[in-house]
Structure 1
Amino acid sequence: MRLFEYRRDNALYKNKSTKAAYQLWILRLLERACSSWRPDVVLVIKGGPITPNFIRRVKARANTLFVNFFPDNPLWMIPFGCIEAYDVFFTKERYAMRSLQQVGLGNLHYLPMYCVPAQHHPVVLSPEETRRFSTPLSFVGSRYDYRERFVRELADAPLRLWGAGWGRTPDPVVRGLVAGGPVFGHDKLCVYSGSTISLNHHHPMNDIVGVNTRTFELAASGACQVVDAKDELSPLFKPGDELLVYRDLGELRRLLDHFLARPEEARAIGENARRRAVAEHTLSHRVDEMLA
């Protein structure tokens, strides 16, 4: 197996003025790599730069199978023609899968997201990390208008926020909850391990009935998460035993009141989630499911 990394920590990819040129350059490099390596399978994780023409050119020169494991809602986050170009397209969204199958696409398959235990695991915080990251209730994720409205409803809770955009909110109440900007790697694990409860609020457009990646990351990190209900959630984790599920703000507040006052119960739920995630929901498990 060979890896071709194209976007992680890459300023050219993340800069709107240079992204298109960078993607074109990346496609050329990847096409050369495919010509040299002649892979049997190209597994793409999301794959924004990958175009249908690129796939056709590579397949014309080699009998290569193109597979996409898409982490977002494909009805919203990828052009339709790109979906159809793949031999196999895995999605966490059964709603999207059914919608695309209804217009004739036959390459869609359901596959939930995953954790990577080497990257997602509990950590022991140092005194300085405890000062920076420990909190009864945390949320890690970017600010959107709907999320800010959600957070405002919880302003009386002991909540701290990490993520892009929160520091720019004009609302002084929400701004007072901001603990920092985006966190990655060990710092993110410190937030998860330093929280009694971790909020997991799905994106209303990106996660229709499917479960986001954060669910699996929090679980593998041993965090007790409280998450909004999704159709695909209960087959993956047991509500009440491996995570806490709410359907409205009233239920969310009741869960927070109960478990913030009982941190030992919250820790037990987080540990149950960690065991389930490591036993059933790693990237290795998903690759095995792809090959089955």
Structure 2
Amino acid sequence: MDKNKVLRILVVLPLYGGSLPVGRFCVSALKKMGHLVETFEAPDFYSAYTALDDLKVTSDRHQYLINSYLNMLSQAVLAKVETFEPDMVLAMAQAPLTHQALKRLRKDNIKTAMWFVEDFRLFTYWQSFATFYDVFAVIQKEPFFSELERIGVKNVLYLPLAAQPDFHKPEEINSVDARKYGGDVAFMGAGYPNRRMAFRKLIHHGLKIWGTEWDGDHVLEPHVQLGGRRISSEECVKIFNSTKINLNLHSSVNADELVSGGDFINPRTFELAACGAFQLVDKRSLMADAFDDGELAYFDDLEDLDRKIGYFLAHPEERKIYAERGRARVLKDHTYEVRMQSLIDFTAGRFAGWPVQRNTDELFDVNFPAALKDDIVKLIDRLGLPSNVGFNDLVAAVKAQQGQLSPLDTAILFLDEWKKMYKG
């Protein structure tokens, strides 16, 4: 579809979890693309959600309260939809949207999409929810596609994860942060069973471990940084940029299979590459679709990884070549803007007449004085909107701003109210 077309997109974040930062990167990308974006900030409601666990009530009553709370959040999403009038509601994995709310959105002809950025084998709630979305985007192919087709999901899009180039980027690390976050060899991620078993045999490289769920392992605990607390996205960028070799071993709950050879590509692969950081990554079946030979340095098994750590520590020039090639590929093909455009194009291709043409006045049909017209052009540019934006979309963008309104913002909102009162 026309890339200059301004869409209104409501992004529904999850209460918590791995898809939360992905959702925020989607919001940032969509805004950079010039679309009008509103966010349902489900994390704001997380503390109340967890407080239900402390009520000391029966399990049946507890489940009833959880369901009631999630239903309330769904109603809040619908209320936001009524105000914002989006062309699409994009829900991240585990977003608080009930079947009833999704049925209502479909009845109102508002297209819904979920980006299911999880392993379908481990997280099976897709079986209950996938049919209620108009578009279901996933990070795996077969047999997931066939499983979705079996339950009647027609519009399935393979949409791998990505990086956000204005966030995941090369960064000069000061001496204090370099001592704190840097090192020869490091891993950032959760302590899945296969990683625990593998990394016990790699600590002789001076391995640093960052992330959660590493407690209870007396061999690895001395190597876990910052007490095993959650690492922010900003800290991840510092770790990636100040580490010589970033280990990237995909997760598996099976400790007997240290290098699983699975399918989906984790976000760390793209983020490390976008940072211009060197990584040693286990090869996945979908890697060939995303990267050419020589763009990533792979390892086949634990012995191969151990050997290659030693090799690449001694060959910094080769690390640099891999890092440069990987970064170039991600900037070209694997950004969140690329992913969001793929989602928009797929939706437009599957639903004739989407997005629905809005009844809107052309902004410059009004004969504004030249000076005011120049100010409006500057406002449009500041808001990241296309030059042919309609008046109603401009109003929506002004309302979505944070902070104090400028005199011009106030004038536009006043004109909008006047039009509603006197022009119907």
Asked if Structure 1 and Structure 2 have the same fold, meaning a TM-score greater than 0.5 normalized by the shorter chain, the answer is: yes
**Aligned-residue CA RMSD in angstroms?**
2.4
Q: 2:328: which partner in 1?
A: 275
Q: 1:233: which partner in 2?
A: 287
Distance 2:283 2:118 in 1: 17
Residue 186 of structure 2 corresponds to residue 138 of structure 1: yes
Q: Give the length in aligned residue pairs.
A: 288
3-state SS of the aligned residue for 2:225?
strand
Q: 2:237: which partner in 1?
A: 189
Distance 1:229 1:289 in 2: 25
Residue 312 of structure 2 aligns with an amino acid whose one-letter code is: F
| Candidates 164, 171, 176, aligned match of 1:123 | 171
Q: 2:343: which partner in 1?
A: 290
Distance 2:111 2:195 in 1: 39
Residue 318 of structure 2 corresponds to residue 265 of structure 1: yes
**Stretch moving more, 275-284 or 76-85:** 76-85
Residue 279 of structure 2 corresponds to residue 199 of structure 1: no
3-state SS of the aligned residue for 2:289?
coil
Distance 2:309 2:73 in 1: 46
Q: Report the Cα offset of residue 52 of structure 1.
A: 1.9
Residue 98 of structure 2 corresponds to residue 70 of structure 1: no
Residue 167 of structure 2 corresponds to residue 114 of structure 1: no
Distance 1:16 1:154 in 2: 40
| Candidates 37, 47, 55, aligned match of 1:12 | 47
Unaligned runs of 5+ in 2: 1-35, 54-64, 254-259, 346-424
**Stretch moving more, 179-188 or 109-118:** 179-188
3-state SS of the aligned residue for 2:109?
coil
Distance 1:250 1:162 in 2: 22
Q: Report the Cα offset of residue 102 of structure 1.
A: 4.1
Distance 1:105 1:208 in 2: 24
Distance 2:103 2:261 in 1: 30
**Stretch moving more, 116-125 or 178-187:** 178-187
Distance 2:70 2:174 in 1: 41
Distance 1:138 1:22, change over 3 A: farther
Unaligned runs of 5+ in 1: none
For normalisation by structure 1, the TM-score amounts to 0.90
Question: How does 1:38-57 map onto structure 2 within 5 Å?
Answer: 38-57=85-104
Distance 1:8 1:207 in 2: 34
Contact 1:136 1:159 in 2 (8 A): yes
Contact 1:7 1:13 in 2 (8 A): no
Distance 1:7 1:152 in 2: 38
Give a deviation string over 1:106-163, Cα, whole Å, max 9, x none: 2222111111112211111111001101111111111233321121121222210010
3-state SS of the aligned residue for 1:234?
helix
Q: Report the Cα offset of residue 22 of structure 1.
A: 5.2
**Stretch moving more, 128-137 or 263-272:** 263-272
Q: 2:298: which partner in 1?
A: 245
Residue 177 of structure 1 aligns with an amino acid whose one-letter code is: H
Q: 2:383: which partner in 1?
A: none
**Stretch moving more, 38-47 or 280-289:** 38-47
Distance 1:200 1:47, change over 3 A: same
Contact 1:92 1:210 in 2 (8 A): yes
Q: 1:178: which partner in 2?
A: 224
Larger CA Rg, structure 1 vs 2: 2
Distance 1:15 1:104, change over 3 A: same
Distance 1:100 1:218 in 2: 31
